[in-house]
Amino acid sequence: MNALLKSATVVDSKSDFHNQTVDILIEKSRITKISKRISNPNNYKEVKLANLHVSSGWFDSSVSFGEPGFEERETISNGLKTAANSGFTAIALNPNTQPVLDSYADITFVKSKADGAATSLLPIGALTKNSEGTDLAELYDMGNAGAVAFYDYQKPIANPNLAKIALQYASNFNGLICSFPQETKISSLGVVNEHVNSTKLGLKGNPNLAEELQIIRDLFLLEYTEGKLHIPTISTAKSVELIREAKAKKLDVTCSVAIHNLILTDDTLKDFDTNFKVLPPLRTQKDCDALIEGLKDGTIDMVTSDHNPIDIENKKVEFDYAKYGTIGLESAFGALQTIFTTKQTIALLTKGKSRFGVSENSINVGETANLSLFNPDETYTFSISNISSKSKNSAFINKELKGLVYGIISNSKIIL
């Protein structure tokens, strides 16, 4: 793959050309020249786009598609096209499929479905067989097949001894255990944040305490086992404090936050729109502020779209019965830019790679071209027309976003 990017502003703190507007020559998928002006004697494909900015490729640590089993929600093929069009050069795929991805063969299958795609797919294997929380799945075998972590998507590990054994066992091969932060006996039948709005709306509440108790338990287990833990999608101010304290103790823990939990609060629930029914639930502005501060000081390691396509039959129902989840790939960049600078947004979208075994490239001569292309300045109202996912369950519909994504250059392909 050969290409010449014209007048591209580099946003990459690891690049010698950070904040400079340059031409970038790519030959055989490798950056061979970066300069103020580069001629095109070989008639390579030229990429000329308004206010073109480039960064190293973006990564999302929590993405669901549906295939196998829920192809009506999303397929791997269309999901990866959506990720590419949204600026992501790599995504970690959750195992919430049917059958659940809990064996060597399952991991091999989803990897094969992603062959040839511009966006790299990194499968996450189920932690327990069929994600039922009873017996550990084939962690070592799945790791050999290419699983980058082990997680029962949005299902807490109820049995603390099972969590302890998982952390101990995975440490033998440097495996990453993910534990969803929710104590189900506390959260019970709660469907929204337990606060003033849950009372006003007559909806059962899921309190902050349910998340924080589980995190405290998991951090104690982590300290005991000296394992390797990732806590996905935290949502409360206290959770940030707990993880900050754990990191001060040098525990091997990372965490993420879903972009919608940074920006949206439970005030959006007044119309009972099920696109806002997510897990963990949307909390209060106080929690949002603490999460944003946690990202700025490094307590929270990465953001995620927590992209979860849900078919209309499971969203256009009463709030209590609707499935949890919102899509988020298409809106991720524009939403983040409503609360962060472009430099901060790109830093967040490129973090978390090493934790999930993704190589980290910079925009320098000699590096493989792994780039996200975007215009950071254009504002627009996000609508159905901006969605390329099969499912349209976005919490950001009709929201004002800032910044358009042009596409990616990755895996020897240009997607614009």
Residues 244 and 298 grouped into a single domain: yes
Per-residue pLDDT tens digits for 230-269: 999 999 999 999 999 999 999 999 999 999 999 999 999 9
- Domain range for 405: 3-53+365-382+399-415
Q: With respect to residue 392, please indicate whether it lies within any of the assigned structural domains.
A: no
Residues 272 and 319 grouped into a single domain: yes
Report the DSSP pairing between strands 30-35 and 58-63. unpaired
Mean pLDDT of 97-125: 98
Mean pLDDT of 218-237: 98
Q: Quick count: other Cβ atoms within 10 Å of Cβ 36?
A: 10
pTM (predicted TM-score): 0.97
Contact 236, 257 (CB under 8 A): no
Residues 85 and 16 grouped into a single domain: no
Count up the domains in the chain and report the number: 2
Mean pLDDT of 88-104: 98
Per-residue pLDDT tens digits for 280-302: 999 999 999 999 999 999 999 99
Residues 184 and 269 grouped into a single domain: yes
pLDDT tier for residue 156 given thresholds of 50, 70 and 90: very high
pLDDT tier for residue 153 given thresholds of 50, 70 and 90: very high
Averaged pLDDT score across all residues of the chain: 98
Q: With respect to residue 389, please indicate whether it lies within any of the assigned structural domains.
A: no
Mean pLDDT of 355-360: 95
Residues 103 and 43 grouped into a single domain: no
Q: With respect to residue 394, please indicate whether it lies within any of the assigned structural domains.
A: no
Q: What CATH number corresponds to the domain at position 17?
A: 2.30.40.10
Q: What CATH number corresponds to the domain at position 218?
A: 3.20.20.140
Contact 134, 128 (CB under 8 A): yes
Residues 197 and 83 grouped into a single domain: yes
Contact 107, 130 (CB under 8 A): no
Residues 336 and 408 grouped into a single domain: no
Q: Is it the case that residue 121 has pLDDT exceeding 90?
A: yes
Contact 389, 329 (CB under 8 A): yes
Residues 337 and 207 grouped into a single domain: yes
Q: Hey, CA dihedral for 313, 318, 321, 325, is it positive or negative?
A: positive
pLDDT tier for residue 140 given thresholds of 50, 70 and 90: very high
Q: Count of residues for the chain?
A: 416
Nearest of 328, 309, 185 to residue 261 by alpha carbon: 328
Q: With respect to residue 121, please indicate whether it lies within any of the assigned structural domains.
A: yes
Rounded percentage of the chain residues whose pLDDT exceeds 90? 100
Q: Is it the case that residue 370 has pLDDT exceeding 90?
A: yes
- Looking at residue 138, its pLDDT comes to 97
Residues 320 and 281 grouped into a single domain: yes
Q: Is it the case that residue 41 has pLDDT exceeding 90?
A: no
The set of residues, in sequence order, having a beta carbon less than 8 Å from that of 159 and lying 6+ positions away, is 133
Residues 99 and 132 grouped into a single domain: yes
Mean pLDDT of 11-15: 97
Is residue 106 part of the annotated active site? The answer reads: no
Residues 27 and 76 grouped into a single domain: no
Q: Is it the case that residue 397 has pLDDT exceeding 90?
A: yes
**Per the residue annotation, which of 266, 306, 311, 320 is the catalytic one?**
306
Mean pLDDT of 371-379: 97
